[in-house]
Structure 1
Amino acid sequence: MTELSEAFSKIDARPTTQVAALDIGSNSFHLVVARIVAGSVQILHRVKQKVRLADGLDKHNRLSDEAMQRGLDTLQIIAQSIKGFEPDTVRIVATYTLRKAKNAKDFIQAAKQILPYPIEVISGIEEARLIYSGVAHTVQNNGQRLVVDIGGGSTEFIIGEGFESKMMRSLQMGCVSYTKRFFADGILTSGAFKKAVTAAQQELELIDAKYLKLGWRHCIGTSGTIKAIVFLAQSLNETNPEGFVSLDNLKTLRDKCISAGHIKDLKLAVTEDRIPVLAAGISILIGVFKSLKITTMEYSAAALREGVLYEMEEHLAHHDIRERTAQSLATRYDVDVDQAKRVHLTTLELYNQCKKGWKIGGQQYRNLLSWAALLHEIGLQINSRGVQRHSGYILQNVDLHGFNQEQQILLSVLARFHRKKLRPDEIPEFWQFDSDLVNKLIIILRLGVLLNIKRQDDFLPEFKVLIEEKKLQIIFPEQWLSNKPIISADLAREADYLSVLNYKLSYS
């Protein structure tokens, strides 16, 4: 025993980071806990809970109290698995249902009492990108691949090669929403299947031509719905390639459902909780196969949460995709890089001097200001008149890979109000960001822009910022301002603008 202990004492343990990714889906909540060691992600623990959150969405896109409670009860269970995790090592993403729900804020606020980590509502495109990332890190094949993920409320379609996604779309069709729409009474008829397949093909009319033109060598399906269907396909025919499903398999499964006549009489070898949404899943997949002319589809266990994990590994290694996204946008829209750099340097100097007094420390806020400084003039591509409105519009509507919905909206707000009048009623209420924090970030960027209005290097001297609650004083070198009447006038006007946010600006 002593020799064994000595042997272990001579082994150097590599530094590891334990991380967790939680996917708040429309059908299920998935938690994956992993450790990152030597640049690789090793899965340690998984939790999957069926919630059917999308079942609680009414025709007005309001989430029912019952569905919210199911979700909150599930979060109570999941919370035990990530208790004590550091904030930077947990990422929670929410998809279709919380994107659609008008009262999503109520659920998120209640969830904050259970999980001390922010919940990010991500766009359909961002969901698609993360799904592809999960597959790309775990599936080894050459050439372009089509990845299809059927969720509870939406289905994502991605064409990519290697680790790069080339085309991404998210369509509003899912196994829970289609169950409510076509199989709500549990009756399985040929007519119901036909309507569901047709509806799926109508959705696919938005993308089928572009996807077929780009093409792919491999077709991969993810999600629990496709997993169940692939498993059933395997049981239909022993000569069927393991892990694959064909259109003939799907038609056979559809016919078995019709023969059963009702969900409760369906005798198929799948878990009990998967039975209620199986018909909808089969219908969607038949529509996908027909519209995209798919012959066979392979199943991959990796999906959104794995994509989140691998991206966390990239973030921890300081390879942030959001930085690449911002740089790509700056290039595409011909941003004046020299001016962006001036504004960036001044904005970060203001942030560094303000963060302690205003209690806004944190890498996330520093990064958001950096990206806003780089992209605040992106609207010049449209028109120099009203550039702030054009910049805000572009950043609100363009695909910003790596940014969740709230981060993208905040970035657009910062750009929208980087100059001219402030309109507090047009600043949205955020779930992730306190309203006063948002105001402070707006003020810092505005001053970074204003102080570089001359667009000249070496124009701005060193300055000092004094902070006191809602007061901000900028102190320049003696006599500097007296020789800059226009800058003085600009600062006076800015003080007037900031008063609508109940902030007082002074300078000397």
Structure 2
Amino acid sequence: MNQYWGVDADPTAQGRIKGARPVAVLDIGSNSVRLVVYERHARSLTPLYNEKTACALGRGLAQTGKIAYENIDRALTAIQRFALVSRLMRVGTTHILATSAVREASNSKAFVDAVEQTMGGKVTVLSGAEEAHFAALGAISGMPGFNGVVGDLGGGSLELSTISGGIDSTGETHQLGVIRLQDDSENSPSRGQAIAKRRLKKSALLDGQGGSFCAIGGTWRSLAKVHQVLRNYPLHMVQNYEVGAADMLDLCEQIVAATASGKAYVGAELASSSRRDLVPYGAAVMIEVLKAGKFSSVIFSALGVREGYLFGLLDEGERAIDPLLQMAEDVNVLRSRSPQHAEDLISFSGGLLETPGIAEPAEETRLRRTACYLADIGWRGHPDYRGEQAVDMVAYGAATGIDHPGRAFLAEVLAVRYMGLKQKSMSASLLALSGATMSARARLLGAMFRVGYPMSAAMPGVLPRIRFELDANVLRLLLPSDLAFLDG
């Protein structure tokens, strides 16, 4: 055993946050069992390891009241491997969460005992209200400004809650998980839709108030990915993906109708094999949720109960930290030539805007600061490809606390910073996400980086000594006498 995880040497790479102790969540759901190991327990979570095994613990539960023993065996085998992973990665704390299948099954105690023995920790079996609460916290952790109804669709249940001002209401739980619905409807999504409509009549949260609906859960994530591909959307990531409710209803109705007629639904090949047959039931629930709530838009969250549980353990000060800026500051420390230089860039770029009196709302300020922290992430790359690599890292990275227009803005800043104002590498559809005004601001900021980096050699101390002056509508850059040779 010692040859695997008992060695004295620290296996942590230099590219990880110094002194960070990994934290993990083992999520035992009705459809899958998943282990996620995060680099550290912080406001911005960075996954080190993320794996799931489809175990279908909720299959047949509504009919028998028990978890099938072959599915228990499958789950315990996966959990043995996950226990090994936790030891290999030297996880400090592993939080073990179980949801509807485990809380409802009459034979779950022996399973829970076996999990606790294997993992060496206590299993927390969440109630429906707790599951709704942590799902809402997950949405808040990734989208701090979201207000509206949150729905977390699992294999055994649907949890609903309302978020207003960063606080969630008392949650609801409904027996509308996709595995349960597939079983209850006898493999008929159209019948499942009728069941969903009937069961959602009990909801006090879906009162037709409109606004935004935040969708969480693996089956709904699959639905979002299908929608993105079919609509030729330039970013294939679920977090913060927003779509009009009418458009989502149209796709969901097509999926349910196609399945009812015995045909493959449009985009079926885009869903994973473990989710493909469940997507029509997720679509059926989505239809009835959107109709009952009369929502105007759907926004998808890749963060849910796991992230919400960890978010709930943070103190009030840590919760108030901006996850986007924390991520950018971490990346700045790990990848830039001089982390302090980013602080110089923040002041330098602020002066560029303040001198001519360019207004900068708070959200644009945070995006500018983020861009300054990320401005030197490409220096190790080949000169001919630094731009493309840097753009990919910010446009397609795992950052939270940022919407898709914000990603496009950051991508364009770095494209100009590395490839100039005439760069043509970014797709027009990706550029269009930020809008004309923010695109112009991105080009201004990227051009400023192209001035600041050669003058400072990416090292701190030079830029704070340089200031801007507006003289008869001419913006001048003023150098101290000992740095006059930097002119030109």
Alignment of 1:264-343 (within 5 A): 267-314=268-315
Shift of 1:220: 1.2
Distance in 2 between residues matched to 1:306 and 1:118, nearest whole Å: 18
CA deviation profile, 1:338-370 (whole Å, cap 9, x unmatched): xxxxxxxxxxxxxxxxxxxxxxxxxxxxxxxxx
Once the 2 structures are TM-superposed, how far is the Cα of residue 84 of structure 1 from its aligned partner?
A: 6.6
CA distance in 1, matches of 2:315, 2:85: 23
Q: Secondary structure of the residue that 1:55 maps to in structure 2?
A: coil
Q: Partners in 1 of 2:25 and 2:251 — Cα distance?
A: 34
* CA pair 162-276 structure 1, distance change in 2 beyond 3 A: same
Structure 2 counterpart SS, 1:250: helix
Q: 2:79 aligns with which of 54, 60, 75?
A: 75
Assess if the C-alpha contact under 8 Å between 2:207 and 2:292 holds in 1.
no
Q: What is the alpha-carbon distance in structure 2 between the residues aligned to residue 39 and residue 235 of structure 1?
A: 31
Identify the residue that residue 59 of structure 2 maps to in structure 1: 55
Note closer, same or farther for the CA distance 1:183–1:270 as it changes in structure 2 (3 Å cut): farther
Structure possessing the higher radius of gyration over alpha carbons: 1
Are residues 1:234 and 2:235 paired? no
User: Please, what TM-score do these two structures have when normalized by structure 1?
Assistant: 0.53
Q: CA deviation at 1:111?
A: 1.8
Q: Name the CA distance, whole Å, in 2 between partners of 1:290 and 1:15.
A: 49
Q: Kindly indicate whether the alpha-carbon contact (under 8 Å) linking 1:236 and 1:249 is maintained by their aligned counterparts in 2.
A: no
Distance, in Å, in 2 between the alignment partners of 1:94 and 1:318 is 24
1:217 aligns with 2:211: yes
Could you say which residue in structure 1 is the equivalent of 2:373?
none
What code does the residue aligned with 2:38 have?
Answer: A
Write the deviation string for residues 451-475 of structure 1: whole angstroms up to 9, x where unpaired: xxxxxxxxxxxxxxxxxxxxxxxxx
Deviations 1:406-447 (A, max 9, x none): xxxxxxxxxxxxxxxxxxxxxxxxxxxxxxxxxxxxxxxxxx
Aligned partner of 2:481 in structure 1 is none
Change (3 A) 1:148 1:66: same
Query: Is 2:145 the partner of 1:141?
Result: yes
CA distance in 2, matches of 1:315, 1:94: 26
Structure 2 spans left out of the alignment, 5+ residues: 1-14, 236-240, 321-488
Q: Conserved in 2, the CA contact under 8 Å of 1:246 and 1:295? A: no
RMSD, aligned CA: 3.3
Change (3 A) 1:290 1:115: same
Q: What is the distance in 1 between the residues matched to 2:161 and 2:148? A: 8
**Measured at CA, do residues 12 and 50 of structure 1 come closer, stay the same or move farther in structure 2, by a change above 3 Å?**
closer
- Which of the numbers 195, 200, 206 marks the counterpart of 1:199? 195
Q: 2:162 aligns with which of 148, 159, 164?
A: 159
TM-superposition CA deviations, 1:169-224 (whole Å, max 9, x none)? 1111111111112244xxxxxxx33321121111111114x4427x4632211111
Structure 1 residue 151: Cα displacement: 0.3
Task: Give me the whole-angstrom Cα distance separating, in 2, the residues matched to 1:282 and 1:88.
Answer: 39
Mapped to 2, the partners of 1:318 and 1:298 lie a distance apart of 22
Tell me, in whole angstroms, the C-alpha distance in 2 between the residues paired with 1:203 and 1:58.
15
**1:281-430 equivalence runs, <5 A:** 281-314=282-315
Partners of 1:183 and 1:275 in 2: CA distance: 17
Aligned runs of 1:455-494 on 2, under 5 Å?
Answer: none
Between the aligned partners of 2:233 and 2:139, the Cα distance in structure 1 is 26
Cα contact 1:196–1:283 (8 A) shared by 2: yes
| Distance change >3 Å, CA 239–CA 113, structure 1 → 2 | closer
Cα distance in 2 between the residues matched to 1:53 and 1:179:
14
Given that 2:190 and 2:256 are in contact with CA atoms closer than 8 Å, whether structure 1 keeps it comes out as: no
Matching residue of 1:175: 178
Deviation, 1:24, is 0.4
Give TM-score, length-normalised by structure 2.
0.55
The farther-off stretch of 99-108 and 84-93 is: 84-93
Distance 1:239 1:46, change over 3 A: closer
Q: Please, which runs of 5 or more residues in structure 1 have no aligned partner?
A: 1-10, 185-191, 320-508
One-letter amino acid of the counterpart of residue 138, structure 1 = G
Cα 1:58–1:145 shift into 2, 3 Å: closer
Give the CA deviation at 1:163: 2.9
Equivalents in 2 of 1:71, 1:31: separation in Å?
12
Q: CA deviation at 1:269?
A: 1.8
Q: Given that residues 56 and 64 in structure 1 are in contact (C-alpha distance below 8 angstroms), is that contact kept between their aligned partners in structure 2?
A: yes
Is this contact kept in 1: 2:79–2:118, CA < 8 A? yes
Write the letter of the residue equivalent to 1:73. Answer: T
Cα distance, 1:222–1:290 mapped onto 2, change above 3 Å: same
Cα 1:87–1:240 change in 2 (3 A) is closer
Match of 1:122 among 118, 122, 126: 126
SS state at 2:21 partner: strand
Q: What is the CA-CA distance between 1:14 and the residue it aligns to?
A: 5.5
Query: Could you say if the C-alpha distance between residues 85 and 316 of structure 1 is closer, same or farther in structure 2, counting changes exceeding 3 Å?
Result: farther
| SS of equivalent residue, structure 2 residue 269 | coil
Count of aligned pairs: 298
- Partner letter of residue 236 of structure 1? L
Q: 1:239 to 1:131 in 2, by over 3 A?
A: closer
SS of 2:58's partner is helix
Post-superposition offset of 1:117: 1.0
Cα gap change, 1:312 to 1:282, in 2 (>3 Å): same
Cross-structure match for 2:259: 257
Q: 1:63 to 1:204 in 2, by over 3 A?
A: same
Identity fraction in percent:
24
1:254-312 deviations in Å (ceiling 9; x for gaps) = 2332344479x995321111112122211111121222223431211101111122234
Aligned to 1:373: none
1:316 Cα deviation after fit: 12
Aligned partner letter, 2:207: L
Change in 2 beyond 3 A, CA 1:157/1:39: closer
C-alpha separation in 2, matches of 1:222 and 1:58: 23
Q: Distance in 2 between matches of 1:24 and 1:301?
A: 17
The one-letter code sitting in structure 2 at the alignment partner of 1:292 is: G
TM-aligned CA distance change 1:146 to 1:39, over 3 Å: closer
